[in-house]
Structure 1
């Protein structure tokens, strides 16, 4: 039973055969028409010749029959009639003008291209018969014999040459078709294997990424893409993506300190602790390992970044002092009661020496246990507050440095004027989150122009950080609602720019918790300016003095 592929191949061959019949016959007909027009201009009397008119009539009728015949539904060799009829028609033309015998080249080339040796011999015999149809040739003079031999040998040589070339072309076509079929099967197998490998790769819970010496992530499994919010089709870091930190709520790593940068430098790492603040606002503790890998398909040496999620372990370690403190506190109260009652019993005078000895043992053991509990409590005291004095100018410069690659990728220039130091009292990590969010929005909603960042001490003694872009901007109504949770401007939604509408509200809460303020100014189509004002660390001291 024929397969779908074989039926498709047969239909292609039939379509090719139909087109070839039309092309050969129409080319021949157009050539004859052109010659007829020339003859009509140069020799009008030839148009009145019976042989010429019969030949033209036969060719026209044959061409019309070619166009209306359903060649796809009749046997392949049926089309052989057409070039034979053309040979006969040319024979009639040569009765009036012998030089028109050159037209026999067309049907002979047609037959040699698509048919075998028997058909070629038959066609040449037909040419010989039509050449002898002229009564002037019946005498078989030497000139007639030489002319006939020249015509037949030339046509035979042409037919052999065309047939050989056609056979080679058909062989090449079959070879190319077979190679294309094998190549398609190979590609299908490779794609199926790649899909199976990718499925296994993505099922691994450990985050894995393969990096080239140029810093390009050539492959990453699902766990790695989820950690860094990477797109499946584009493995570059997105604007506003995850940020790596040296410690929990510690210092954000600069672009030269990230895991990818270290892998590019050829550093080999084994189980090093790394902290990641992902796009959803979750802290993740990771175990970082960087190892050499096999070269990629281009022969480039690559390295593998391995990140094991240790968040649960890290949280347990952070909670351990608290649990110890609670348990120790709960144990101390009953021990105090035991010691108190033991002391009361020892103060009595009606105890036997044995009872007093037992009470002494209870009191001594309780005191030792209470001492141990006090030691545990002193080791697990609450950590200091996260608020500390830091340089806001350095924070802004670090954020600019982190977002420069993203700005360059969006064809944005960053102009910064940062007058430091700008000492601020507060949570450096949270305030860095505010600046990063504003920078991310400025890049995300801009496709041209310059991003201007300024940080300085204003006339009122406040630290002012201003970030201005030349992006899509907002309407006045949108500016009034920009801090509303889940609100996104209409033009941002129409532009298909991803976002949740939570960032600005979170930023305002953080700034106000530090005693500062945040303001947004925007014009639709001309850009947005966001200004954050924070009290300087020595401002209160200056007021009090």
Structure 2
């Protein structure tokens, strides 16, 4: 189609020029029509135009189209037979046509054909010298014109090919960028975290699916009919338009995990943590901010459910404990009890009181981690712990004892420190097989800390389980298979208590050889100082 249009355009230019000359000649010099060659030239040009319209050029070889400009050269040659009309100037049209699309050989052939036509016509109109000069000038002019046009056309085609390749490269790069952007958008839309980029003018530039669903916006940022409303607290006061997290982000305020409550489009309360990050400037120099909204509703609900469950269990424990301690007190008031029974009842009473205190601590959510520090003798705590677990140890045939210093002082919460020793000793007694040994050693570490070491000859802990010992509810595979009951919370509580007292915890264990748990505390140091002065540390050795 493009070839047909190109051939038609060139032929129409040549034909229109010949027809225009013929009309002008008819007006100014009608005698020229008496010359038969002039009429033949004009008629041949018109016939060539008609032929161009009729020929299906898409089915014709490209070189076959060269016939048309050569016919035009012949037609112009016939028309130039009329003296003084100078129709030969129109030869520039077919020469330019050939120079644009064909090789230098085609141009040379066309110039030679012009020379032949010119010689035939000029021989009838002047002397041989005039003919030679006329032919030479025409050859030089047309050759220069054809060569210049061909060089320009060749360069133009080269530039066009280069631009086409560059355009193809740009299109491929644009397609890759668009594909990359689609992939990034798909990944961001798959996130549960709500993300939105807002300009300094308050316009939403980008947002992901989580944000659209949370705030009820369509893909273009428009608000849907069911609007989400932000509140300053759960069931509190709605935030004014200028105090929403989006408006604050647009103003460039720095938010770091700021809590906001949202009543979403589905009628549910959601707790959000809002954080802002400055982003790179846009192409027009405008600033933008990324707003990150983490939905922590499920976490808060789970935390509240755990707190409620702990409160219920703790509350329900208090009544039977009160009854147990009350009856133990009644028994202790009797004078007819053997001394050993009296001592055993004392242990039961102390254990019940400790359980009551633990239940009270669980109920008192506003209580601090430990009370005001006071001097504590770790030997007294260790002896009391051994006395508590001695019946269980004797029943299993274990050797349970306390060795080392008779007095080992530290400062802290005696109740919490006793809880840590009890938890470690409970594990040692529980997992050490019959006939084994469990002992508590009290001494001073190399860094002059009060050191309590609980050692056993139990099965030990596998290296892969030792690293996970402090995970909530985690129990080693051997412990699970043994059928010994447990919750997997004890060692986590021990580490928390040691950290509260600015202490250090080290666990050394080898499968089949036993476990050693070392707790080191500052000697005589008060706990009211900054933890940075005595940072807690937990070490695990295999």
For the criterion TM > 0.5, the same-fold answer is: yes
Shift of 1:84: 0.8
Q: Among 201, 209, 213, which residue is 1:214 paired with?
A: 201
Matches of 1:215 and 1:83 in 2, distance apart?
Answer: 66
Point out the more displaced range, 18-27 or 258-267: 258-267
Q: Among 45, 56, 64, which residue is 1:70 paired with?
A: 56
Alpha-carbon contact 2:119-2:131 (below 8 Å) kept: no
Question: Tell me, what secondary structure is at the counterpart of 1:248?
Answer: coil
Cα distance 1:89–1:378, how it changes in 2: closer, same or farther (>3 A)?
A: closer
Question: Tell me, what secondary structure is at the counterpart of 2:258?
Answer: strand
Task: Please say if 1:196 is aligned against 2:186.
Answer: no
Matches within 5 A, 1:453-532: none
Question: Tell me, what secondary structure is at the counterpart of 2:242?
Answer: coil
1:123 aligned residue: 110
Matches of 1:268 and 1:292 in 2, distance apart?
Answer: 9
Task: Please say if 1:87 is aligned against 2:73.
Answer: yes
Listed one character per residue, the Cα deviations across residues 24-76 of structure 1 (whole Å, up to 9, x for unaligned) are 11221222223323333334443343112222232222222222222222322
Matches of 2:164 and 2:24 in 1, distance apart?
Answer: 44
1:96 aligned residue: 82
Matches within 5 A, 1:297-336: 297-319=283-305, 322-324=308-310, 326-327=312-313, 330-331=316-317
Alpha-carbon contact 1:328-1:373 (below 8 Å) kept: yes
Listed one character per residue, the Cα deviations across residues 433-472 of structure 1 (whole Å, up to 9, x for unaligned) are xxxxxxxxxxxxxxxxxxxxxxxxxxxxxxxxxxxxxxxx
Q: Among 16, 24, 40, which residue is 2:2 paired with?
A: 16
Alpha-carbon contact 1:40-1:47 (below 8 Å) kept: yes
Task: Please say if 1:266 is aligned against 2:252.
Answer: yes
Point out the more displaced range, 42-51 or 367-376: 367-376
Listed one character per residue, the Cα deviations across residues 401-450 of structure 1 (whole Å, up to 9, x for unaligned) are xxxxxxxxxxxxxxxxxxxxxxxxxxxxxxxxxxxxxxxxxxxxxxxxxx
Question: Tell me, what secondary structure is at the counterpart of 2:80?
Answer: helix
Cα distance 1:189–1:351, how it changes in 2: closer, same or farther (>3 A)?
A: same
Cα distance 1:60–1:376, how it changes in 2: closer, same or farther (>3 A)?
A: closer
> How many equivalent residue pairs?
365
Alpha-carbon contact 1:228-1:242 (below 8 Å) kept: yes
Matches of 1:244 and 1:17 in 2, distance apart?
Answer: 67
Matches of 1:163 and 1:155 in 2, distance apart?
Answer: 12
Structure 1: 5+ residue stretches without partners = 1-14, 381-545
Matches of 1:371 and 1:136 in 2, distance apart?
Answer: 134
Matches within 5 A, 1:124-203: 124-134=111-121, 137=124, 140-203=127-190
2:512 aligned residue: none
Alpha-carbon contact 2:216-2:226 (below 8 Å) kept: no
Matches of 1:379 and 1:177 in 2, distance apart?
Answer: 73
Alpha-carbon contact 2:80-2:86 (below 8 Å) kept: yes
Matches within 5 A, 1:353-392: none
Matches of 1:376 and 1:116 in 2, distance apart?
Answer: 98
Alpha-carbon contact 1:291-1:303 (below 8 Å) kept: yes
Cα distance 1:365–1:35, how it changes in 2: closer, same or farther (>3 A)?
A: same
Matches of 2:17 and 2:237 in 1, distance apart?
Answer: 85
Shift of 1:136: 5.0
Matches of 1:223 and 1:252 in 2, distance apart?
Answer: 22
Matches of 1:204 and 1:379 in 2, distance apart?
Answer: 34
Matches of 2:105 and 2:344 in 1, distance apart?
Answer: 128
Matches within 5 A, 1:33-52: 33-52=19-38
Cα RMSD after superposing both structures? 3.6
Cα distance 1:146–1:323, how it changes in 2: closer, same or farther (>3 A)?
A: same
After TM superposition, the score normalised by the length of structure 2 is: 0.58
Matches of 2:140 and 2:19 in 1, distance apart?
Answer: 27
Cα distance 1:135–1:170, how it changes in 2: closer, same or farther (>3 A)?
A: closer
Q: Among 219, 222, 225, which residue is 2:212 paired with?
A: 225
Listed one character per residue, the Cα deviations across residues 261-303 of structure 1 (whole Å, up to 9, x for unaligned) are 2223333232222211111111111122223344445554443
Shift of 1:326: 4.0
Alpha-carbon contact 1:207-1:306 (below 8 Å) kept: yes
Matches of 1:354 and 1:140 in 2, distance apart?
Answer: 157
1:11 aligned residue: none
Matches of 1:326 and 1:296 in 2, distance apart?
Answer: 56
Point out the more displaced range, 301-310 or 321-330: 321-330
Shift of 1:332: 5.8
Question: Tell me, what secondary structure is at the counterpart of 1:291?
Answer: strand
Q: Among 277, 290, 295, which residue is 1:291 paired with?
A: 277
Cα distance 1:48–1:321, how it changes in 2: closer, same or farther (>3 A)?
A: same
Task: Please say if 1:235 is aligned against 2:221.
Answer: yes
Matches of 1:135 and 1:306 in 2, distance apart?
Answer: 90
Question: Tell me, what secondary structure is at the counterpart of 2:241?
Answer: coil
Structure 2: 5+ residue stretches without partners = 367-542
Cα distance 1:27–1:188, how it changes in 2: closer, same or farther (>3 A)?
A: same
Alpha-carbon contact 1:137-1:144 (below 8 Å) kept: no
Question: Tell me, what secondary structure is at the counterpart of 1:96?
Answer: coil
Matches of 1:249 and 1:144 in 2, distance apart?
Answer: 108
